[in-house]
Amino acid sequence: MAVWIQAQQLQGDALHQMQSLYGQHFPIEVRHYLSQWIESQPWDSVDLENAQDEFKAKRMLDGLVQQLQKKADHQMGEDGFLLKIKLGHYADQLKSTYDRCPLELVRCIRHILYMEQRLLQEANSSSSPMGGMMVSMSQKYQQISQAFEELRALTQDTENDLRKLQHNQEYFIIQYQESLRIQAQLTSLATLPPADRLLREPTLQSKRATVEAWLTREANTLQKYRLDLAEKHQNTLALLRKQQTAILDDELIQWKRRQQLAGNGGPPEGGLDVLQSWCEKLAEMIWQNRQQIRRAEHLRQQLPIPGPIEEMLTELNSTVTDIISTLVTSTFIIEKQPPQVLKTQTKFAATVRLLVGGKLTVHMNPPQVKATIVSEQQAKALLKNENTRNDSSGEILNNNCVMEYHQTTGTLSAHFRNMSLKRIKRSDRRGAESVTEEKFTILFESQFSVGGNELVFQVKTLSLPVVVIVHGSQDNNATATVLWDNAFAEAGRVPFLVPDKVMWPQLCEALNMKYKAEVQSNMGLSEGNLVFLAQKAFSSSSINPEDYRNLAISWSQFNRESLPGRSFTFWQWFDGVMELTKKHLKPHWNDGAILGFVNKQQAQEMLMSKPNGTFLLRFSDSEIGGITIAWVAENPGKTGERMVWNLMPFTTKDFTIRSLSDRISDLNHLLFLYPDRAKDIVFSKYYTPPLSKAVDGYVKPEIKQVVPEFTTASPDPSGGNPAFMDQTASPAVGHPQGYGIYSNMGDSMLDGDGEFDLDDTMDVARHVEELLRRPMEAQWSGPQS
């Protein structure tokens, strides 16, 4: 029988747990309407740790979206109208959520299918074959599930033994009372006449001897039961600790690492539902064993029998308390991290969650959580358990929040929605360290009472490192500090140590992850792009990727020392490229229209082998956040000679006036995008539609990109090919003699490298635009309003 059909039969708490698996990340309606298709897919064939399997995951995502759209299209009539809209919306939502991280969809569906099967197994109290789909459970999850089953059996076994021990001890006490009664009867014989005493005494003596022999024998048996039970509890606690280590030190740490990499643009860290279910099951079993040990201790106190059991029970109680303490303190986590670049006087949010809050009845007395900002040194002291109470490095407004228990999801969390860093206290900086290299962290702390105040825990957790800024101009350098820390931090480090040098391929991985996330593109950095970046970072001319694989790059090279001959660092240049692409060039990058990471010399070599009018787009070497157009054309100074021209770089300021595609459209001497694509085929879908005709006597102004040296004819309205370049030289443009590839030109609009400086011409264009906004004269438009 299909898993989903059985899952719909779940009742009570099991049904609530099943429902909590779904949400915006994967709507339950998708599971319902595509249940057969979902259960037939080989999700386990995708290796989540292998980036090469991303293509396979992408195909599965596309298949899911297609199935949803197909299902939506088949909805007919009035009743199907809303469902059609909803399913179409879910198709778009899943495409948007997982398009750049399809492996996360596979991970999500695996978790859901595993949890459904686990809930069904528990409901049926036995495992049953679920067909080929259940083979897809990962080996790791199977091991955890099997360990829980073993722990359940062990806990039930010790519960049975404890009840048997209690029953035997109660019978022992009854027999012991019988022994005391016999002894009292023997004592009372002294008051009887000798004849009566002699008649009754032998019988009582015999009965006493029998009972005392049984008591001696049973006392040894009880002692053995107690020792056996204690040894079983030792084994159970050892397995509980092993299982807890697998969940907390492996699974939870991996989740935290994914959360950290998500700060660099990595895939989402995924939900906590599966982890919470494991932690809750751990809490339940640890608590059951703790109660059993306490009952065993109570039985020992009721009937003290000399032996090693007292010491063993003391050790067991200490061990189980240590295990539950580790569980509670480790599962107090930050579900939503505060921003890692934190600007003062700016609202920010964070969410903390206790994964075992529901099972340990912590929510019965809702605890309060306090947030404090502390320095790197204070964080080190906290981890050493040094007294740092009331120490902070700033003041956070709205920094107290009560944890709330959500019955439907079974989660206990505190949502800080309106925190604001009012002030920051900085420490003395070391050497060349700047304020944007100084790391802080948000400390969240609380106090929990567990099990009706039986145990009280002081818990605390630190956020990922944050860099505090006071002005937006500090953002890019602060982001560099955060990126380096997120990418290269090691598990269990001393706050917040990171290596000063890393291997170049490691940095490439981090840069590619960040670039794809910022530009929101599946097109990351190619090997050629990374070689270009290596050339820039190491001031090298080698084009062989192997030459850089064993090179290390330091933090100073990354974002402390300026590039040779420039006033900015490697990171500042790269960050400028990302910002420009994200804001203005995203569709063109996704279309593959921007080569981008190409230097002048490479551009020249590539273009000189192409027909005149061929152009390419590359990021400027000399300006942060600039992109230039390079094209090949005739040298107007020497007939028959060709050269490569470079337009002065465009920046965000320029694209707020006129888009890249419109600028390319304006320049009719640009014909083919490298290598041989007609420019209109690539860019026409992004052209701004022509302005409408004059209305009420007003004409709308329009700005056009013009390069005077390349005066062009308008395209032939009959549909013929547009003229590439006006063959008549303009008398206003001098043609200097002796061009090199990047000749020094006498015209004031060209810089020393033969690049056009559009700043002055754009200032004039803006002035003209302002003039054109004024009403036209009456002779142009007739009466005006």
Average pLDDT over residues 369-376: 93
pLDDT at residue 348 in the model: 94
Cα 644 from Cα 674, distance rounded (Å):
13
Cα separation of the two ends of the chain: 77
Residue 107: how many CB atoms within 10 A of its CB? 21
Cα 286 from Cα 299, distance rounded (Å):
20
CB environment 133-170: b (16+ within 10 A), e (fewer): bbebbeeebeebbebbeebeebbeebeebbeebbeebe
List pLDDT tens digits, range 91-122: 988 988 888 888 889 888 988 888 888 788 77
Residue 61 has pLDDT above 60, yes or no: yes
Three-state secondary structure of 18-59: HHCCCECCECHHHHHHCHHHHHHCCHHHCCCCCHHHHHHHHH
Specify whether the CB–CB gap between 380 and 465 falls below 8 A: no
CA atoms within 13 A on the CB side of 282: 31
Average pLDDT over residues 433-458: 86
pLDDT at residue 203 in the model: 84
pLDDT at residue 694 in the model: 65
pLDDT band at 742 (very low <50, low <70, confident <90, very high): very low
Largest CA distance in the chain: 155
- What does the block give as tokens for 480? 């560099």
410: left (phi over 0), alpha (psi -120 to 50) or beta: left
CA 16 → CA 11, 20, 125, 409, distances in Å?
8, 6, 18, 7
Cα 360 from Cα 288, distance rounded (Å):
11
Specify whether the CB–CB gap between 583 and 659 falls below 8 A: no
pLDDT at residue 79 in the model: 66
Specify whether the CB–CB gap between 380 and 311 falls below 8 A: no
The pTM for the full model equals: 0.70
3-state secondary structure of 750: strand
Do strands 341-343 and 467-469 pair parallel, antiparallel, or not at all (unpaired)? parallel
What DSSP string describes 404-416?
EEETTTTEEEEEE
State the alpha helices, DSSP H only, in 249-384. Answer: 253-262, 273-302, 309-330, 376-383
Specify whether the CB–CB gap between 321 and 329 falls below 8 A: no
Instruction: Return phi, psi of residue 45, to 5°.
Output: -75, -10
List pLDDT tens digits, range 381-399: 888 876 656 678 889 999 9
Q: Identify the weakest region by mean pLDDT among 14-18, 132-136, 439-443, 611-615.
A: 132-136
State the alpha helices, DSSP H only, in 138-193. Answer: 139-188
CA atoms within 13 A on the CB side of 232: 22
pLDDT at residue 730 in the model: 29
Specify whether the CB–CB gap between 712 and 665 falls below 8 A: no
Sign of CA dihedral 268, 269, 272, 278: positive
Name residues whose C-beta falls within 8 Å of residue 374's C-beta, 6 or more positions apart in sequence.
Answer: 382, 388, 391, 392, 393, 440, 441, 442, 443, 462
Q: Identify the weakest region by mean pLDDT among 119-128, 138-147, 349-358.
A: 119-128
Average pLDDT over residues 744-764: 42
309 vs 17, higher pLDDT? 309
Specify whether the CB–CB gap between 89 and 248 falls below 8 A: no
pLDDT at residue 500 in the model: 93
Specify whether the CB–CB gap between 242 and 236 falls below 8 A: no
Specify whether the CB–CB gap between 336 and 350 falls below 8 A: yes
686 vs 128, higher pLDDT? 686
Cα 118 from Cα 17, distance rounded (Å):
11
Task: Indicate the burial class of 402 (C-beta count within 10 angstroms; 0-12, 13-18, 19 or more).
Answer: exposed
Sign of CA dihedral 115, 117, 121, 127: negative
- Specify the amino acid at residue 290: R
Cα 615 from Cα 672, distance rounded (Å):
6
Q: What is the mean pLDDT of the chain?
A: 82
Specify whether the CB–CB gap between 281 and 288 falls below 8 A: no
378 vs 636, higher pLDDT? 378
pLDDT at residue 745 in the model: 36
Specify whether the CB–CB gap between 365 and 354 falls below 8 A: no
Name residues whose C-beta falls within 8 Å of residue 38's C-beta, 6 or more positions apart in sequence.
Answer: 4, 31, 64, 109, 113
pLDDT band at 477 (very low <50, low <70, confident <90, very high): very high
Residue 8 has pLDDT above 90, yes or no: no
Residue among 467, 465, 457, 469 at smallest CA distance from 494? 465
- Specify the amino acid at residue 545: P
Average pLDDT over residues 316-337: 93
CA 547 → CA 500, 524, 541, distances in Å?
21, 21, 10
Average pLDDT over residues 427-433: 66
CA 72 → CA 5, 34, 444, distances in Å?
21, 11, 46
- What does the block give as tokens for 648? 């002065």
Instruction: Return phi, psi of residue 501, to 5°.
Output: -130, 145
- Specify the amino acid at residue 708: P
- Specify the amino acid at residue 52: Q
- Specify the amino acid at residue 316: L
Specify whether the CB–CB gap between 301 and 294 falls below 8 A: no
CA atoms within 13 A on the CB side of 388: 21
SS3 content of the chain, % helix, strand, coil (to 5): 50, 15, 35
Average pLDDT over residues 602-614: 91
Strand order, beta sheet including 614-619: 677-678, 672-673, 614-619, 627-634, 642-647, 755-756
Instruction: Return phi, psi of residue 99, to 5°.
Output: -60, -35
Residue among 11, 16, 298, 343 at smallest CA distance from 169? 298
Bridge partners for 276 per DSSP: none
List pLDDT tens digits, range 543-566: 999 999 999 999 999 999 999 989
Angle at 151 between CA 145 and CA 155, to 5 degrees: 150
Cα 395 from Cα 382, distance rounded (Å):
18
Cα 381 from Cα 278, distance rounded (Å):
31
Residue 235 has pLDDT above 80, yes or no: yes
